[in-house]
């Protein structure tokens, strides 16, 4: 075996090892734990809406799952979302597979930016035809924890302390400024 072939084999082995080592954390994500469900009748389809956190609070990430009876195979749907914190481009979106709960549609780590009453509407097309329905009143409570500005202030204190430390250290250590004499 020549040294060139040996280097190629070692490089290929290192690339494969790093590829599998990088894939391990991706496979380690916990499944979606649904703690609360609501049922919606969308025409001929009964849809179970699952929430990974209950009650829902503003600025808190959670998973939503939407599972029609009989599964999502052969069906397509649209989510109609309305509420105080919904941007105009987020009102209508296609229902897509949840990335970690592949047997249902869903939203992965979604959060609402403000408290209020939200409405989830569904338009589903499938073998039994077209159906529409809505979950009219999901109350989103205020943000958990301290106000956002206070959280950012407290979180940035170590960085501000580091900057002060670096400025003081730089001023003590730097040599005195001397004009260049030629």
pLDDT for 110 equals 87
Name the nearest CA neighbour of 133 among 116, 144, 119, 152: 119
> pTM score > 0.75 for this model?
no
Inform me whether the pLDDT recorded for 173 exceeds 90.
no
pLDDT for 95 equals 93
pLDDT tens readout for residues 28-47? 556 778 899 999 999 999 99
Mean pLDDT of the chain: 86
131, 45 Cβ separation under 8 angstroms:
yes
Mean pLDDT of 10-16: 74
Strand 36-42 vs strand 45-51: parallel, antiparallel, or unpaired?
antiparallel
């Amino acid at each position: 075996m020549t040294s060139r072939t040996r280097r190629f084999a070692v490089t290929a082995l290192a690339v494969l090892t790093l590829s599998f080592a990088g894939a391990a954390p991706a496979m380690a994500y916990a499944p979606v734990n649904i703690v609360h469900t609501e049922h919606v009748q969308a025409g001929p389809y009964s849809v179970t809406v699952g929430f990974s956190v209950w009650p829902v609070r503003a600025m808190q990430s959670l998973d939503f799952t939407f599972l029609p009876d009989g599964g999502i195979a052969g069906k397509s749907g649209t989510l109609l979302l309305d509420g105080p914190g919904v941007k105009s481009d987020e009102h209508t979106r296609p229902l897509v597979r949840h990335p970690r709960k592949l047997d249902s549609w869903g939203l992965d780590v979604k959060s609402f930016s403000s408290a209020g009453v939200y409405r989830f509407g569904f338009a589903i097309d499938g073998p039994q035809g077209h159906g529409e329905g809505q979950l009219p009143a999901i109350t989103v409570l205020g943000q958990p924890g301290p106000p956002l500005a206070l959280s950012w202030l407290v979180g940035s204190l170590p960085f501000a302390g580091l900057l002060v430390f670096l400025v003081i250290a730089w001023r003590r250590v730097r040599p005195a400024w001397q004009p260049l004499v030629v």
